[in-house]
Amino acid sequence: MLQAGQRFDDYRIINFFESGGMGEIYLAEEVSLGRQVVIKVIRPEAIKYPNSEEARKVIQLFQREATAIARLNHPYILPLYRSGGATIDAIPLMYMVMPYCQEKSLSDWMYTHGKTALSPQEVDYTLRQAAEALQYAHDQGIIHLDVKPSNFLIRYPTDDVSKLNMQLMDFGIAKFTATTGMSQTIRGSLEYMAPEQWENRPVFATDQYALAIMIYRLLTGQSPFNGSGFEQLWHQHRFVQPMPPSTLNHGILTLNHGILPSVDSVLLRALAKNPNDRYPSRYRSGPTRDRSLPFLDNMRQRSLLPFRSLPFQRHLPCHPYRTIHRHPPRGELQRFLHHLSAVKPSHSYSLECYLFSLLA
């Protein structure tokens, strides 16, 4: 473990954050720029004994994550400042440098602000950022495979959900669809893993399934699948049909003005056991591939979200939401969101809503 005050390259360690599956995470100062950053360091034993099977897996995942992040340039994806190697006290290190987000993750933010669930309007603001980040990754041929609230960092401090700026992180187990072969070890967060991910056969709709669980939890304050261990959760994901979210936790739903039953069909389809029964992905490899992801549009159409979002949002009065057909649904993820929006009386106001009301 690195110690406070130790330096390598242009970085000075401030303190230790936590250990992860592949390494250790530290808060550090980038000395030349005088800014705080987060440094993920691969576990020392993986470098010290690089020929061991476990070390090779860790190094491969670490390099995979750096490669994935380096390929992505999107306002809702946490960027990579730098990656490389260094030596401290004769011990070689591999590291990645990323922005420091003081607010930590969406899960941490909700806990700090005493929220167990969000209203449909609050989910509106958070989900469209998550969905756009995932769609962009899918457009680059990358399946994230670990979509959950704790993997969305809050970029800037705020007490207002509508001003949250989220960035997707942790591409350590991401799959590149353009490559063949993948680790035979099943990796991911058990509560969010689609049935095909348990079998190590992920597809684009695998992220759709995890995003639907995230939406379900944000709306109801509880997971659609509950179990105390590996076998119980596998059985739930494989065989158990979740309860419609509109029928759960009526105290929270009353506080949040309720979840429309029409949302149920969209979420439950996204949670289908067979990925072919979810919203279809038309992504194909090769130069003529169609990168559209229909899932987002279906959710928007059924009452949660405005039709599109802009990277920088200003909330202005506009006409009540109405479906805009000028811009057809684009992609599996967008189609899912589009369905959720169509049945909602709009309570959110944004620059995009204002512009579309003028253009319609």
Tell me the mean pLDDT in the region 64-71.
87
Residue 65 placed within a domain: yes
196 and 145 both lie in a single domain: yes
Band (44; pLDDT cuts 50, 70, 90): low
Q: Please indicate whether residue 146 is annotated as part of the active site.
A: yes
Domain final position from 59, 83, 99: 99
What is the tens place of the pLDDT at every residue in 186-238? 678 899 999 999 999 999 999 999 999 999 999 999 999 988 888 999 999 99
Q: Mean of the per-residue pLDDT values for the chain? A: 77
Which CATH number does the domain housing residue 88 bear? 3.30.200.20
Catalytic: which of 146, 170, 207, 297?
Answer: 146
152 and 280 both lie in a single domain: yes
Domain final position from 37, 67, 99: 99
Which two structure tokens, joined as six digits, stand for 22? 């592949």
Residue 1 placed within a domain: no
What is the tens place of the pLDDT at every residue in 256-274? 456 777 788 889 999 999 9
277 and 148 both lie in a single domain: yes
Domain count of the chain? 2
Closest CA to 95 of 65, 122, 115: 65
User: Do residues 170 and 152 lie in contact, with contact meaning Cβ atoms separated by under 8 Å?
Assistant: no
What pLDDT is stored for residue 345 in this prediction? 37
Residue 199 placed within a domain: yes
Greater model confidence, 75 or 65: 75
Residue 349 placed within a domain: yes
Which CATH number does the domain housing residue 201 bear? 1.10.510.10
123 and 68 both lie in a single domain: no
What's the CA angle centered on 73, arms 46 and 150, to 5 degrees?
A: 60
What pLDDT is stored for residue 93 in this prediction? 84
186 and 310 both lie in a single domain: yes
168 and 242 both lie in a single domain: yes
Band (64; pLDDT cuts 50, 70, 90): confident
Residue 143 placed within a domain: yes
> Domain range spanning residue 14?
7-99
What pLDDT is stored for residue 326 in this prediction? 38
User: Do residues 312 and 275 lie in contact, with contact meaning Cβ atoms separated by under 8 Å?
Assistant: no
Tell me, yes or no, if the pTM score tops 0.75. yes
- The length of the chain, given as a count of residues: 360
What is the tens place of the pLDDT at every residue in 16-28? 988 866 788 999 9
Band (151; pLDDT cuts 50, 70, 90): very high
Residue 333 placed within a domain: yes
Domain final position from 99, 129, 159: 99
Would the pLDDT of 185 be above 80? no
What pLDDT is stored for residue 6 in this prediction? 93
Residue 2 placed within a domain: no
216 and 297 both lie in a single domain: yes
Tell me the mean pLDDT in the region 298-310.
45
186 and 239 both lie in a single domain: yes
Residue 79 placed within a domain: yes
